[in-house]
Chain A
Amino acid sequence: MMRISIAAAALVVHVALMLALAPLLVGCLRWAEARLMGRIGPPPLQPWHDLRRLALKQPVLAENASWLFRAAPVVAFAATLSAAALVPSFASGMLDVPLADLVAIVGLLALARCTLALAGLDAGTAFGGLGASRTMTVAALAEPAMLLVVFALGLLVGSTNLDAILAALSDGAGLRASLGLALVALVMVGIADCGRLPLASPATRLELTMLQEALGLEYSGWYLALLQWTAALKLLLWLTLIGTILLPFGLASPDSGLPAWLLALPAWGVKVGMLAAGLAIFESAIGGMRWARAAEFLGVAAALGLLAAVLAFAGQVLT
């Protein structure tokens, strides 16, 4: 009973922290990139101010917007929040462990993406259609790469349950060459899914560099606030996922004592902070990639994922 209540409390705190820290992460990232480029940059809490301001504004809907257009931000937000609730950040063994399947997480992110693509097409504008087409095309190559990485990770324990995989990784069972390849592939897929450089530039409004921002051009008011929050949640989800797979220690479980719980939150903060700093340095150092080369980029990610799976076989004890 005690375990269940601790697990439930951990889940609630996890979801609340994900919701609260996601805009802060985006703000810190923007601030860091601005400083690295020699500008002063907006304060890190700016996205929170933006969300509050947008929520208080009355939205303007296009004349041909349908019920799908109105429902899409809520559906996308719900799907991304569910996926974020399934990825352990500072606690393992949360109440939703039976649901935390990596393939299901990939599916939920795909659901959010397809809903937003349909909303972009519903507006009937050229920007929306272009963004929808490019988002789904990038996903057509990024999703197989992601599923191959899931395949390689799942070979460790024979199942794709995220908590089981993380437990095996923290025991040191998965430290093989395939993990290195899988991590590189995971980073590349994360860049593609969040629409960051070198694939797309999240800070501009040029049609050639927008992936997901194009889908939200027709939205305003609290719809737009939900969309921005969704994008921030997705970035935090990816950084948390990569951080926990790269450094699987520091997760507190309901069985561990108080010191483990006290260290777990700062550990998560350090992991995400390190990865965010790395992302900021990477993005300010390189430029964008031509769209035609994005296919090769994702093809390399898929090839690395496949090789991670193939190399995982090589090190296994064959029956």
Chain B
Amino acid sequence: MTGATPGFGAVLSGLVLAAAFGLLYQRRAGGLINACALQAWALAAAAAWQGVAWEAPELIVVGCLVLAANGVALPMALRRGARRAGIGPSVVAMPGIPVSLLTAAALVALAVLASATMASPAQARGEIAVDLSVVLLGLFTLASRRGGPGEAVGFAATANGLILGMVEVRGMPLVALWTLAVLALGGAAMLRPGGQLR
């Protein structure tokens, strides 16, 4: 008994999903950046916990990478960008907040239904549902939040979802490299010529 039950990692991935919800609830840029940082921290904690529980040191490396990139560097860059653009630009949400929350709930239900059709053991089905939900919510955030750091946060949320999926798969090879690739892709998307961070 390593002292860290793997089940608690599932609780932490639930916190990642809750943070994804929290992203959709924010109106102001500051809140959005904080929620994105919170999601990255929860993901880092989940990765580190799974690394300790399954005795897989590369997952701890993944956790540190996520913390450094999405948890520290990105919020700092976004806040500096927000300061440069003026005092607290507000984020425009294309559908209103209640409609976004309902759509998010429907997307999660869809993910659960989709995972129920897969023929895997019950616990794996639950994890797949959570990972799929986080990715879907990240894509929805990307699509529905315009202005300010909205787009960048959407990319970061989607990247977080993909990394969570990779972390949950036990014994996935080269996890750290894949994580690096996903983060780099996300960063490239954010820093592209037409993007918000330029």
Binding site for B on A (CB under 8 A): 172, 175-181, 183-184, 296, 299-300, 303-304, 306-308, 310-311, 313-318
> How many angstroms from the CA of A76 to the CA of B16 in the assembled complex?
38
Would you list 17 pairs from A and B whose C-beta atoms are within 8 A, ordered by A residue?
Answer: A175-B7, A175-B8, A176-B7, A177-B17, A177-B126, A181-B17, A299-B98, A300-B25, A306-B105, A308-B14, A311-B14, A311-B112, A314-B115, A314-B116, A314-B129, A315-B126, A315-B127
- Give 1 or 0 for each of B98-127: 1 = CB within 8 Å of chain A CB: 100110110011001001100000110111
> How many angstroms from the CA of A15 to the CA of B40 in the assembled complex?
42
Pair B18/A180 contact, Cβ less than 8 Å:
yes
Excluding A184-B18, A303-B21, 9 further A-B contacts by CB distance (< 8 Å) are A176-B7, A176-B11, A177-B11, A179-B14, A180-B12, A181-B17, A306-B105, A308-B14, A318-B122
> How many angstroms from the CA of A223 to the CA of B80 in the assembled complex?
54
Interface residues on B, range: 20 to 34
Top 9 closest A-B pairs, CB basis?
Answer: A180-B14, A315-B126, A175-B7, A177-B14, A314-B129, A180-B15, A180-B11, A184-B18, A177-B130
Q: Is B97 an interface residue (CB 8 A)?
A: yes
> How many angstroms from the CA of A307 to the CA of B129 in the assembled complex?
11
A172 and B112 in contact, given A180-B11, A180-B17 (Cβ under 8 angstroms): no
Pair B122/A178 contact, Cβ less than 8 Å:
no
Question: Of all chain A residues, which has the CB nearest B114?
Answer: A314
Binding site for A on B (CB under 8 A): 5, 7-8, 10-15, 17-18, 21-22, 25, 97-98, 101-102, 104-105, 108-109, 112, 115-116, 122-123, 125-127, 129-130, 133
A175 and B5 in contact, given A300-B21, A304-B21 (Cβ under 8 angstroms): yes
- Chain A contacts for B129, CB-based, 8 A: 177, 311, 314-315
- Chain B contacts for A180, CB-based, 8 A: 10-15, 17-18
> How many angstroms from the CA of A120 to the CA of B108 in the assembled complex?
41
Pair A178/B14 contact, Cβ less than 8 Å:
yes
Residue among B12, B15, B18, B97 having the largest count of chain A Cβ atoms under 10 Å? B18
Of the residues A179, A303, A311, A314, contact of B101 by C-beta under 8 Å: A303
Pair B11/A175 contact, Cβ less than 8 Å:
yes
> How many angstroms from the CA of A192 to the CA of B20 in the assembled complex?
22
> How many angstroms from the CA of A307 to the CA of B126 in the assembled complex?
12
- Chain B contacts for A299, CB-based, 8 A: 98, 101
- Chain A contacts for B22, CB-based, 8 A: 300
Question: Of all chain A residues, which has the CB nearest B125?
Answer: A314
Pair B14/A300 contact, Cβ less than 8 Å:
no
> How many angstroms from the CA of A25 to the CA of B13 in the assembled complex?
32
- Chain A contacts for B102, CB-based, 8 A: 303
> How many angstroms from the CA of A178 to the CA of B15 in the assembled complex?
9
Of the residues B12, B108, B115, B127, contact of A307 by C-beta under 8 Å: B108
| Shortest Cβ distance from residue B121 to the other chain A in the assembled complex, whole angstroms | 9
Question: Of all chain B residues, which has the CB nearest A175?
Answer: B7
Of the residues A177, A184, A304, contact of B13 by C-beta under 8 Å: A177
A181 and B126 in contact, given A175-B5, A300-B25, A307-B105 (Cβ under 8 angstroms): no
> How many angstroms from the CA of A177 to the CA of B105 in the assembled complex?
15
- Chain B contacts for A181, CB-based, 8 A: 14, 17-18
A314 and B11 in contact, given A177-B127, A303-B105 (Cβ under 8 angstroms): no
| Shortest Cβ distance from residue B31 to the other chain A in the assembled complex, whole angstroms | 10
- Chain B contacts for A313, CB-based, 8 A: 112, 116
Question: Of all chain B residues, which has the CB nearest A176?
Answer: B10
A296 and B126 in contact, given A307-B17, A310-B112 (Cβ under 8 angstroms): no
> How many angstroms from the CA of A184 to the CA of B11 in the assembled complex?
11
Of the residues B10, B108, B122, contact of A316 by C-beta under 8 Å: B122
- Chain A contacts for B112, CB-based, 8 A: 310-311, 313-314
| Shortest Cβ distance from residue A317 to the other chain B in the assembled complex, whole angstroms | 5
A184 and B15 in contact, given A296-B98, A315-B122, A315-B125 (Cβ under 8 angstroms): yes
- Chain A contacts for B17, CB-based, 8 A: 177, 180-181, 307, 311
